[in-house]
Amino acid sequence: MAQQASPPPRIVTLVLVTPGGRPVGVLPPFEVSVPWWQETGPVVQGARERFGLDITVLRLLAAERHVSHGGSVTYLAEAEAPAPDLEPWAGTLDEHPLRATWARPGGPDAELAWATAVMADRGIEAHGRPEQVRSWNLSSLWRLPTSGGACWLKVVPPFLAHEGRLLERLQGGAVPNVLAVDGPRILMAELSGQDLYEAKGATLRLMVSQVVGLQQTWLGRTEELMDLGLPDWRGPALTAAIADVVERVGPQLQPAVQSRLDRFVDDLNRRFTTIDACGLPDTLVHGDFHPGNHRGDSERIVLLDWGDSGVGHPLLDQPAFLERVAEPDVAKVRDHWHRAWREVVPGSDPDRASALLAPIAAARQAVIYLHFLDHIEPSEHPYHAADPADWLGRTAALL
C-alpha cells in the first residue's frame, strides 16, 4: 500500500443564511483540523469556538482544489442567531432540481424531526444537541445522543435509496442495527468499537470470510436484489455502462490510453464469457468493500456503507480491498479469499476470475463516479470531477 502525501489544511469560509433561506453575510475564513470536505463536524465546532455561533452546513458552494480535501472551501450554512463579524456576500443563491433535501435551508431540521419522532415512538429519549457529522452530495450523517447511547441518522439521495431497503433485509448479519427506514432515511443504533482502516492479519481475513459468507447466502437470489433497486453490474449491463463511460470520458485521456480502452470495450463480451467459465455466480456486491468501511472490536465486526451495493460477480469487491491492505498481508488475504470461494463453489477458479476482473473492477469505479456526476448538482461536482478519468487511467494501466 503506497504511502500517501498529507493533504494541505482545509480553510473554510461560511456563507450564512437564515432557516428561511435569506443570505445574511459571510464569516471570515478559518482553518479546521480535518482536511476532508464532507466532514462537517470540525466546521460546526470551529464556528462555535471562533464566533460563538451554532450552524448547520448545507452544501458546498466553491472549492479551490480539484480533489476533495484541503485548500480553500466555501460552504452554505444555516444559522438561527445573528452572527458577529459578518461581511456582505456578493454572490447569489440559485435553485437546482438535483439539490439534495438536506442541502436546502430547513432540510436538516425536517430529517431530524423524522428521526426524533421515530425515537419517541420507540421510547428512546433524546439527550443533548444532535451532532452533524457529514454533509455532501452522497449523504447527510447525524449522531443523535440519547440517554442510552446514541442513534445515527443517515439520509441518502434517491439514486442510493436502495441502501435502507437492503439493510432491512440483511438484519441479523454483520451490518448496522436498523431502527427505521423511510425511503432515503435510515435510523441506526450506534456501533461499538472503532473504524478499522489499519486492520491487519487475522482481522482482514475475518472481514473477507464475512463478506464471502454473506454473498453465499445470496447465490441464486439475484432477482430479489434487483427488486430492492440495486444496480445491475452483471456482464451485459456492466459492459454497456463501461462502454458509455469510455465514450464520454475517454477523450480526456491520452490517445494511446483511449485506444487501449476502446480495445478493452470491444473485448468485454469475450472477457465476461471467460469469467463466467471460472464458475463463480453473480451475487450481492458491497461495492465499496475496504477495511475502513468496517467497524468493531474483538467481539464483532460490522460492514458499513451499503449505498454502492449492486448485483454482479463477487470478486468485484476484491481490488479496492486489497489496494488498501499493507503489502505484507496482500498475498495471504488473496489466498484466503480464493480458498473460501473454492470451498463455496468446488471446481471454481477464483484465481483466473480475479485476474480477468481487475480492469473491469477499475472501470466499474469510473462508471460509479460518472453516475454520481450525472445525478448531483454542478456545485458539488468538485467532489468527483476527476474520478472517472482517473479510474479509466487505472483501468488502462491494468491492461
- Here the CATH number for the domain that contains residue 353 is 3.90.1200.10
Q: Please give the pLDDT value at position 2.
A: 42
**For each of the chain's 399 residues, which pLDDT tens digit applies?**
444 568 899 999 999 999 999 999 999 999 999 999 999 999 999 999 999 999 999 999 999 988 899 999 999 999 987 767 788 898 989 999 999 999 999 999 999 999 999 999 999 998 889 999 999 999 999 999 998 889 999 999 999 999 999 999 999 999 999 999 999 999 999 988 899 999 999 999 999 999 999 999 999 999 999 999 999 999 999 999 999 999 999 999 999 999 999 999 999 999 999 999 999 999 999 999 999 999 998 778 999 999 999 999 999 999 999 999 999 999 999 999 999 999 999 999 999 999 999 999 999 999 999 999 999 999 999 999 999 999 999 999 999
Same domain, 134 and 276: no
* Distance from C-alpha of 393 to C-alpha of 370, rounded to nearest angstrom: 14
Same domain, 243 and 362: yes
Evaluate whether residue 116 is within a structural domain. yes
Cβ atoms within 10 Å, residue 264: 21
Evaluate whether residue 145 is within a structural domain. yes
Same domain, 162 and 281: no
Task: Tell me if 162 sits within 8 A of 230, measured CB to CB.
Answer: yes
Domains of the chain: total: 3
* Distance from C-alpha of 345 to C-alpha of 326, rounded to nearest angstrom: 28
Same domain, 183 and 198: no
Same domain, 220 and 359: yes
Evaluate whether residue 362 is within a structural domain. yes
Which H/E stretch holds residue 356?
helix 350-375
Same domain, 155 and 304: no
Same domain, 64 and 108: no
Q: Please give the pLDDT value at position 323.
A: 93
- CATH classification of the domain holding 115: 3.30.200.20
Same domain, 245 and 389: yes
Read off φ and ψ for residue 120, nearest 5 degrees: -65, -40
Pick the last residue of a domain from 33, 68, 93: 93
- Tell me the residue type at 220: G
Residue 284, beta-bridge partner list: 311
Pick the last residue of a domain from 189, 224, 251: 189
Evaluate whether residue 1 is within a structural domain. no
Same domain, 311 and 351: yes
The pTM of this model reads 0.93
Evaluate whether residue 2 is within a structural domain. no
Name the region of 190 (left: φ>0; alpha: ψ -120 to 50; beta: rest). beta
Same domain, 38 and 107: no
Pick the last residue of a domain from 93, 110, 144: 93
Nearest to 382 by CA among 141, 70, 92: 70
Evaluate whether residue 367 is within a structural domain. yes
Same domain, 224 and 353: yes
Task: Please write down the long-range contacts of 25-32, taking CB distance under 8 Å and 24 or more positions apart.
Answer: 25/83, 25/86, 25/87, 25/88, 25/89, 26/86, 26/87, 26/88, 26/89, 27/51, 27/53, 27/83, 27/85, 27/86, 27/87, 28/85, 28/87, 29/72
User: What are the grid coordinates assigned to 338, written together?
Assistant: 480464493
Task: Please write down the long-range contacts of 46-50, taking CB distance under 8 Å and 24 or more positions apart.
Answer: 46/12, 47/14, 47/77
Q: Please give the pLDDT value at position 192.
A: 85
Strand order across the 194-195 sheet: 194-195, 294-296, 301-303
Same domain, 184 and 199: no
Strands 283-285 and 23-26: unpaired
- Tell me the residue type at 336: H
Print the domain residue range for 50.
10-93
Evaluate whether residue 16 is within a structural domain. yes
Straight-line distance from the first to the last Cα atom of the chain, in angstroms, rounded to the nearest whole number: 20
Evaluate whether residue 163 is within a structural domain. yes
Nearest to 229 by CA among 144, 174, 158: 158
- CATH classification of the domain holding 42: 3.90.79.10
